[in-house]
Structure 1
Amino acid sequence: MPAFSLEPSQTARCAQLRTLAAERLRPLAEKGEPGHVNRPLIAELGRLGLLERLFSSGALDLCLMRESLAYACTEAETALALQGLGAHPVHAHGTPAQRDRWLPAVSEGSAVAAFALSEPGAGSDAAALGLRAERDPDPAADSPAQPAAVPDGASRWRLTGEKCWISNAPEADFYTVFARTTPGAGARGVTAFLVPADRPGLTGGALDMLSPHPIGTLAFDAVPVSADDVLGEVDRGFRVAMGTLNLFRPSVGAFAVGMAQAALDATLTHTAQRDAFGGKLRDLQSVAHTVAEMALRTDAARLMVYAAATAYDEGAPDVPKRAAMAKLLATETAQYVVDTAVQLHGARALQRGHLLEHLYREVRAPRIYEGASEVQRGIIAKELYANPEVR
């Protein structure tokens, strides 16, 4: 399927999702408490079958879901995306036991997932992780008076350190955690672990962030894990992280495109109705040209997102570059479109509760998380020089 064309069934599905988001998800989002997991909203996403689709469809479908939900309810979009981000490593790299334990609960919306990569000293530089996974060779390390905290896998570790800026922390039910198993090995010495939230030694705290969903810290005080908790292979967790981000970065772009389209549509309505200077705002050439620029950039970003998602689904060799390009262009575009929409609306757009006031707060973070814009430019340049044959 060409990246620039959607099938009629896909277009109809997007329209249906917008309606569902407005009628069934937005009311639940509005009842949520800022800074806390909205479990009724997540449960409704499960009842609608949207969470299950995170594991049964491809990157393009994920992008279409995120774009459609973002247009009508950014909180629902984010709740869905965080479930996918936290649980995708389990789906892609987990053992049958890990998948059977967690994926059905994530799909039905009864278990909340989180992706724990960033640290106080390792945000954009993900290879500089400091959370330590130290070997625990003594199977009797757990007190005889207490049951073992983890199954007796072939290998055991204790996790010590911190994670920071983790979405859904500290309220998630389990975390995909990336820790250093081999000191001094850079990206080659990182392992991914599935860590249930009730593991002894694992605590967390909330951060007061510009975000409706919880973002927090995690503290690991000799948290026990075993080989049964490893996702993928020991010392190859960076591949798990990058593989997950290569899937989700284009869909972050789709989230941004959904917000940009909502801002653009609001601007079209406002400028067509607003009386100013003896006519309508749209009659001013400067306004008309600005709206045209907003539409141009939004469509260009959408095409880049769809192209990157299609490349991922087809297993193209340049997925890292395309994913980075899609996230970079779409998030920077959305920032421009929403900011411009606020300018054309004037002071009313800054009133608490206005659509654009909401989007103005929401649109900033995607330029930072899952790799800041500067990181995306670095990835693009690296891929261009390393793989000239797929430019």
Structure 2
Amino acid sequence: MPAFSLDPPQTAWCAELRTLAAERLRPLAEKGEPGHVNRALVAELGQLGLLERLFTSGAVDLCLMRESLAYACTEAETALALQGLGAHPVHAHGTPAQRDRWLPRVAEGTAIAAFALSEPAAGSDAAALELRAEAGLEEAACRLAEGLEEVPGEGLVTDPLPAGSAPAAEPDGTARWRLTGEKCWISNAPEADFYTVFARTTPGAGARGVTAFLVPADRPGLGGTSLDMLSPHPIGALTFDAVPVTADDVLGEIDRGFRVAMGTLNLFRPSVGAFAVGMARAALDATLAHTAERDAFGGKLKDLQTVAHQVAEMALRTEAARLMVYAAATAYDEGAEDVPKRAAMAKLLATETAQYVVDQAVQLHGARALRRGHLLEHLYREVRAPRVYEGASEVQRDIIAKELYAGREAAQ
């Protein structure tokens, strides 16, 4: 698909999504309690077949869904995106048993998923996470019997167990690891039904010593609290007090969990941009309507050159962001080599653009836009978080620069 245009069926589908969001999803969103999972809304997304598409469609379709829903109902967009973010690692890296247990329920909207990567001291620097996966008795015995262990990128090392670690296991010895530590800023926590959790299985190995686990919410030792945030969707902190996990809970390969995380983010970062574009387009359309109808200084607001030029700038930046988002999504679907760079560019440009457009829309509307319940008051609260989550804007710039220099070195 050309990155710069949509075909007629896609255009019609987007229009249908906006209508569904306005007529069926927004009423449910308005009944929800801010800061908590709106299970009725998630269930309706399942009934409409949108959650199932998270596992059957590519990045372009994901972006189309997120942009269209965001235009009419940001709560529905976020609910859909969080289901995808939390469940994609299971879809892409899970065992048949893991997929069979959880993915149908996610698609139906009866199970809530969450992606647990960030920590109090490891937000944007995801490779620095400290949640410990301490070896249980069975795993410790196997490693000690071998006497050595191969650490990716480090070769063979002796004494693989961290100094001072206390191997823990169930009485029957079935638990291979115990998760101990904290996660923070986790969307859908602590109300999710399962979490994709990233924990350190090899100390001192940076990104090469992280493993992804599928952790059901009812595991002993797993607790959590809600955080009172500006964003209306649920965000919380999780505590892990020797939470038992086994080989059956691993997503992908041991010590290769960072690849699981980055692969998920490479897919979802362009779609965060699509979310931002949807909000920007909603703000732009509201501004066009307001400035065309608002009487001021003997005419309409749109007749003032400063206002007209500002609206033109808002439209220019929104369209540029949209083009980059769909270019990145197309690259992902085609398996291009430069997906990390394109994904970072798309998220960076689109989220920064949406912040600018919504802010200018508020300025042109005046005080009415800041009144509780106004569309722009809602967007003003929603638009700030995407510049931080799934890698802050500064991290995206770092990724872009690293990819550029790596490409230069490869070409020499």
Q: Distance in 2 between matches of 1:235 and 1:100?
A: 24
SS at match of 1:141: coil
Question: Which secondary structure state, in structure 2, belongs to the residue aligned with residue 200 of structure 1?
Answer: coil
Unpaired runs of 5+ residues, structure 1, are: none
Deviation by residue 1:114-153 (Cα, 9 ceiling, x = unmatched): 0000000000000001000010024993247xxx8xxx4x
Q: Which of residues 274, 285, 298 in structure 2 aligns to 1:254? A: 274
Match status 1:206 vs 2:226: yes
Query: Quick one: distance in 2 between partners of 1:123 and 1:141?
Result: 30
Secondary structure of the 2:137 match is: coil
CA contact (8 A) 2:169 2:177 kept: no
**Counterpart code for 1:71:** Y
In the other structure, the counterpart of 2:256 is 236
The one-letter code sitting in structure 2 at the alignment partner of 1:263 is A
Give 2:197's aligned amino acid: V
Corresponding residue of 2:169: 141
Partner of 1:96: 96
Equivalent residue number for residue 247 of structure 2: 227
Partner of 1:372: 392
* Pairing 1:255-334 to 2, within 5 Å after superposition: 255-334=275-354
Distance in 1, Cα, partners of 2:37 & 2:83: 11
Deviation at 1:213, TM superposition (A): 1.6
Corresponding position of 2:123: 123
- Please tell me the residue identity of whatever aligns with 2:181: G
1:348 corresponds in structure 2 to: 368
- Which whole-Å CA distance do the structure 2 matches of 1:138 and 1:300 have between them? 55
1:64 has 2:58 as partner? no
Q: Which residue of 1 aligns with 2:83?
A: 83
**Cα displacement string for residues 269-302 of structure 1 (whole angstroms, at most 9, x for unaligned residues):** 0000000000000000000000000000000000
Q: Which amino acid aligns with 2:391?
A: G
Give the equivalent residue in structure 2 for 1:338.
358
Contact map agreement 2:252 2:260 (CA 8 A) in 1? yes
**Aligned equivalents of 1:134, 1:213: Cα separation in 2:** 32
Match of 2:401 in 1: 381
Partner AA of 1:82 in structure 2: L
* TM-score relative to the length of structure 1: 0.96
Pair 1:358-2:378 in alignment:
yes
Displacement of 1:10: 0.2
Which stretch shifts more, 206-215 or 178-187?
A: 206-215
Determine the C-alpha separation between the residues in 2 that align with 1:319 and 1:35. 33
Letter in 1 for 2:78: T
**Match for 1:244: what amino acid?**
T
1:2 aligns with 2:22: no
How far apart are the structure 2 equivalents of 1:245 and 1:57? 16
**Aligned partner (choices 169, 188, 198) of residue 168 of structure 1:** 188
User: Which blocks of at least 5 consecutive residues in structure 2 are unaligned?
Assistant: 140-167
Of the three residues 209, 233, 237, the one matched with 1:189 is 209
Letter in 2 for 1:194: L
Q: Secondary structure at the match of 1:115?
A: strand
TM-score by length of 2: 0.91
**Alpha-carbon distance, 1:211 to partner:** 1.8
When structure 1 is superposed on structure 2, of 174-183 and 155-164 the one drifting more is 155-164
Alignment match, 1:38: 38
Give deviations 1:38-83, integer Å, cap 9, x for gaps.
0000000000000000000000000000000000000000000000
Q: Which amino acid aligns with 1:27?
A: P
- Give the aligned partner of residue 73 of structure 2: 73
- How big is each residue's C-alpha offset from its partner over 1:300-325, in whole Å with a ceiling of 9 and x where there is no partner? 00000000000000000000000000
Q: Tell me the equivalent position of 1:27.
A: 27
CA–CA distance in structure 2, aligned partners of residues 126 and 373 of structure 1 = 14
Q: Please give the alpha-carbon distance, in whole angstroms, between the structure 2 residues aligned to 1:143 and 1:357.
A: 55
Partner residue, 1:132: 132
Instruction: Name the SS for the 1:4 alignment partner.
Output: coil
Q: 1:15 is matched with which residue? A: 15
- Is the Cα–Cα contact under 8 Å of residues 169 and 176 in structure 2 kept in the other structure? no
Instruction: Report the RMSD for the aligned CA atoms in angstroms.
Output: 1.2
Residue 212 (structure 1) shift? 1.5
In 2, the alpha carbon distance for the partners of 1:123 and 1:384 equals 24
Residue in 2 aligned with 1:53? 53
The answer to whether the 8 A contact 2:185-2:235 is kept is: yes
* Aligned equivalents of 1:117, 1:323: Cα separation in 2: 19
